Amino acid sequence: MIEVMTANYAAAYAVKLARVGVIAAYPITPQSSISEKLAEMYVKGELHGKYFLVESEHSAMSMLIGASYAGARTFTATSSHGLALMHEMLFWAVGARRPIVMAVVARALAPPWNIWGDHMDVMSERDTGWMQFFCENNQETLDTILMAYKISENRSVMLPSMVIEDGFILSHTYEAVDIPDQDEVDDFLPPFDPEWKIDFNDPRRFGGLTMPDWWSEFRYRIALDQEVARKKIVEVDKEFERKFGRSYGGLVEFYNCDDAEVALVLAGSAVGTAKEVSDKMRERGKKVGVVKLKTFRPFPAEELKKLNDMVPVVGVFDRSYTFGYGGALYSEVRNGIYDPAGGALVKNYVGGMGGKDFTPKNMEFIFEDLLRIKKEGKVDKMVEWINIKDGTGRW
Amino acid sequence: MVNIPKFTIPKEEYVCKGHSACPGCGTPLALRYTLKALGKRTVLNIPAGCGGVILGVWPSYALKVPVVDNAFECTAAVADGIRAGFDVLGVEDAYVVGWAGDGGTVDIGLQALSAAVDRNANIIYIMLDNEAYMNTGIQKSGCTPIGAWTTTTPVADEKGWNTSPKKRIMEMLVANGIVYGATVNVAFPEDFIARLREAKDIKGTKFIHVLAPCTPGWRIDPKKSIEVARLATQTGIFPLYKVENGRYSLTKEIKNRKPVREYLMLQGRFRHLKEEAINQIQKIVDEEYARLLKKIKDTNE
Amino acid sequence: MVEAPKTYKDLPSTPITFFTTEDNKTGTWRTIRPVIDKEKCTRCYICWKFCPDLSIEVEKEGDYPNVDYDHCKGCGICANECPSNAITMEKEMEK
């Protein structure tokens, strides 16, 4: 059934279809309409599970960890400061190996106060051990939540997932979304059946004090299981495509890259803009490719390495910044594709932060800049901030 | 007829030997009594603190019921989450216990606890009050009493000890609308178990405030642990009472309250106090006790 | 009998415990030991009730209490609380 809706509503429909058992909700812009839609569904008796109002994002995540230990499938959604407040419990969810799925409606962190979209919040949680999936559009948001449960709850993975949709750009923008049938989703996503949960007949202690002699081994297991997840993500994407006819490339999607002269790596809603600009530029004979980073953790370094054989110059577009260095995607991509024998030149573009429009014109600037670098054979500067009021009038 | 000696509390044990509590610690007793009252189908969730350390080190632990460890401030939220999970999965006849220390409750955990009471979460919240952050090395908490030395309220030249009163957590939760609250003391096990049995099947949030001595933190001889705890109630410093839907009542009548000096002078943490300070504490305790009696009177009219 | 994990490969996906602490012989912490005088003991079980270390054992009602010296930490609560003064704390032999 196709309906026109925002990514936030699409997320709520995914939660309903996934038959989530326990939902913990706390409002924050631009996430709130997910919580509101779920509340409405709950009151109407449309949800499989229970819906709880908590007093903070910290408690939302805490509650879900408890519910997941009891054996329930769990969901919450947050943004920005809410995600930052959860930070402690994000580590806890990973260490406890609870396959919670959370929608993160990516937004800037204050001050100055700003409710609009960028990736600062999600990039700051890179090292928690959560899997991180970016979404390009509303359909992808719904589909990714369904896939995320399947990946997270796999007994060889047992790690939580963040499904990231860009604040306002997706969260509050209406698009046509195909809502799959419940039967089809049930067939794709079986009930949560964890190997270990609270059992009065087999009492255990979960996550108790562990001395230095074994603590690293538990961390090593998480590292290895992220590697398992890498394979499962691709498998689940393929299975999803077989069932529902849609695929998102699993880890990475290469678009217009086969004969490209330069390529731009990016994540989230800006991918759509990049694809469109790439198409248009190709009509004018400018062969520019787009690399959509679907999955940020686990990071698809091997897949991205192919870029060295495809193009001599790679751009990386960041909607966030690691102060004192560069964009987070940039440093990951550059490190990931590093080839001691040479490899592609890499330049970082930073923009679209705090909700600033990132326009096709801005995108075209990046592609033109990459083509220039290709011609000149060297990168002029490591990082370029896009569309900054720098007095040059070039924007 | 010969009198056969009887156990005055249940025989069943759900705490294992070999736990890591200091000699004379009140916490394992509180765990013993709690689980004797609640039984096998009980899950504890325990945040950072002595409770987590006492249970031992992976791959072993010292209870015969399931335990979930959690972060410092989220006990009530995790407990309610476990209950939520049980509810959606149809797990019945189970007791979900949040087991936090005084700092983990009245300081860092207060927000989550208040929200759980707000939702009337069907959990038993047990605050193990040893009157400071003991696990981290005896730092002042919101439950540290006036006059006490701690490592963050050190004593120098007869000043510097803790001067802020103990937070009135029970009153906060009563104002919050809690359905059941009670104070218990490890020195009175029969009363302790009676309160938990009374509370366990009430639907909603139950709050149990346990006084449990910390031998290094209170600077007491381990053998005096129970004696000191008993004096806390006998002096009126830690009266035993309960609050049912806002109605206060004493659960242990104290005929002639002993002077607070007897309680204070057994403990190194109070040993710096001079006559004047002791008299002041006596005055505060008398006032607090009178307040309690008034609340009992007012809420039962 | 559950085997203790030997390598990271044996670890469960979730950090769960495998054993109880009963093998942890906390009796080695002790410097003084409780000795029960059964002549004086009235079997009121107050010592059993107040033992934080579960080291005063009573098999069934009517039995005399016994001390589990493998686990008793020697806190002395039992001796302090005994209303009949039936328990004395004696120094551990020097090794």
What mean pLDDT comes out for the span C58-77? 97
From A206, which residue of chain B is nearest by alpha-carbon distance? B68
Q: According to the model, what pLDDT value does residue B116 have? A: 98
- Specify whether the CB–CB gap between B64 and B16 falls below 8 A: yes
Residues of C in contact with A218 (CB under 8 A): 8, 11, 15
From B121, which residue of chain A is nearest by alpha-carbon distance? A52
Tell me if B173 is assigned to some domain: yes
| For testing contact with chain C, the best of A98, A202, A220 (most C CBs within 10 A) | A220
CB environment A181-207: b (16+ within 10 A), e (fewer): eeeebeebbeebebebbbebeebbbbb
- Specify whether the CB–CB gap between A106 and A119 falls below 8 A: yes
Question: What percentage of chain C's residues is helix, strand, coil (to nearest 5)?
Answer: 20, 20, 60
Residue C72 neighbours by CB distance under 10 Å: 24
Place of tokens 């580590």: A91
pLDDT band at C94 (very low <50, low <70, confident <90, very high): low
The DSSP code for A350 is: E
A215 has a chain C CB within 8 A of its CB: no
Q: What's the CATH number where B202 sits?
A: 3.40.50.970
Tell me if B13 is assigned to some domain: no
CB contact under 8 A, C29 and B23: yes
Q: According to the model, what pLDDT value does residue C13 have? A: 87
Q: According to the model, what pLDDT value does residue B2 have? A: 62
Q: According to the model, what pLDDT value does residue B1 have? A: 55
Tell me if B270 is assigned to some domain: yes
Residues of A in contact with C7 (CB under 8 A): 217
The torsion angles phi and psi of B68, rounded to 5 degrees, stand at -115, 125
Question: What is the secondary structure of C47-91 as a DSSP string?
Answer: HHHH-TTS-EE-SSTTSPPEE-TTT-----HHHHH-TT--EEEEE
Name C35's bridge partners.
C88
Note the pLDDT tens digit of each residue in A191-207. 999 999 999 999 999 99
- Specify whether the CB–CB gap between A171 and A11 falls below 8 A: no
- Chains touching C, CB cut-off 8 Å, 3+ pairs: A, B
Nearest alpha carbon to residue A50 among A64, A61, A31, A65 = A64
Domains and CATH numbers, chain C: 38-95 (3.30.70.20)
Residue A40 has pLDDT above 80, yes or no: yes
Measured in whole angstroms, how far is the alpha carbon of residue B300 from the centre of its chain? 25
Note the pLDDT tens digit of each residue in A252-273. 999 999 999 999 999 999 999 9
Specify the CATH class of A253-385 in words: alpha beta
Which residues does B232 contact at the CB level (< 8 Å), separation at least 6?
B185, B187, B211, B238, B263
Note the pLDDT tens digit of each residue in A225-246. 999 999 999 999 999 999 999 9
B223 has a chain C CB within 8 A of its CB: yes
Measured in whole angstroms, how far is the alpha carbon of residue A266 from the centre of its chain? 12
B167 has a chain C CB within 8 A of its CB: no
Q: According to the model, what pLDDT value does residue C33 have? A: 97
Q: Which helix (H) or strand (E) holds A158?
A: none
Number of domains in chain B: 1
A67 has a chain B CB within 8 A of its CB: yes
Which residues does B159 contact at the CB level (< 8 Å), separation at least 6?
none
Note the pLDDT tens digit of each residue in A350-381. 999 999 999 999 999 999 999 999 999 999 99
For the ranges A11-15, A73-77, A382-386, C1-5, which has the lowest average pLDDT? C1-5
The torsion angles phi and psi of B274, rounded to 5 degrees, stand at -95, 175
Tell me if B294 is assigned to some domain: yes
Q: How far apart are CA C88 and CA C36, in angstroms?
A: 7
Low-confidence ranges of chain B (pLDDT < 70): 1-2
Domain enclosing residue B130, as ranges:
27-300
- Chains touching B, CB cut-off 8 Å, 3+ pairs: A, C
The torsion angles phi and psi of A12, rounded to 5 degrees, stand at -60, -40
B221 has a chain C CB within 8 A of its CB: yes
∠ CA(B37), CA(B39), CA(B43), 5° rounding? Answer: 110
Q: Using CB atoms within 10 A of its CB, is residue B255 exposed (0-12), middle (13-18) or buried (19+)?
A: exposed
Q: According to the model, what pLDDT value does residue A77 have? A: 98
Q: Domain segments of chain A: what residues? A: 2-244, 253-385
Check: complex ipTM more than 0.90: yes
Residues of B in contact with C44 (CB under 8 A): 5
Q: How far apart are CA A229 and CA A196, in angstroms?
A: 19
Averaged pLDDT score across all residues of chain A: 97
Tell me if B281 is assigned to some domain: yes
Q: How far apart are CA A100 and CA A122, in angstroms?
A: 16
Residues of C in contact with A210 (CB under 8 A): 15
Residue C1 has pLDDT above 90, yes or no: no
Tell me if B198 is assigned to some domain: yes
Note the pLDDT tens digit of each residue in A109-150. 999 999 999 999 999 999 999 999 999 999 999 999 999 999
Q: According to the model, what pLDDT value does residue B160 have? A: 87
Note the pLDDT tens digit of each residue in C22-43. 999 999 999 999 999 999 999 9
The DSSP code for A265 is: E
From B46, which residue of chain A is nearest by alpha-carbon distance? A208
A312 has a chain B CB within 8 A of its CB: no
Q: What strands, in cross-sheet order, belong to the sheet with A205-206?
A: A205-206, B67-70, B42-47, B95-101, B124-129, B206-211, B180-185, B241-244, B247-250
pLDDT band at C95 (very low <50, low <70, confident <90, very high): low
Tell me if B22 is assigned to some domain: no
The residue type found at A84 is A
Specify the CATH class of A2-244 in words: alpha beta
The torsion angles phi and psi of B134, rounded to 5 degrees, stand at -80, -40
CB contact under 8 A, C5 and B59: yes
Tell me if B18 is assigned to some domain: no
Residue A395 has pLDDT above 90, yes or no: no
CB contact under 8 A, C21 and B24: no
A89 has a chain B CB within 8 A of its CB: yes
Which residues does A236 contact at the CB level (< 8 Å), separation at least 6?
A147, A150, A151, A250
Note the pLDDT tens digit of each residue in A291-310. 999 999 999 999 999 999 99
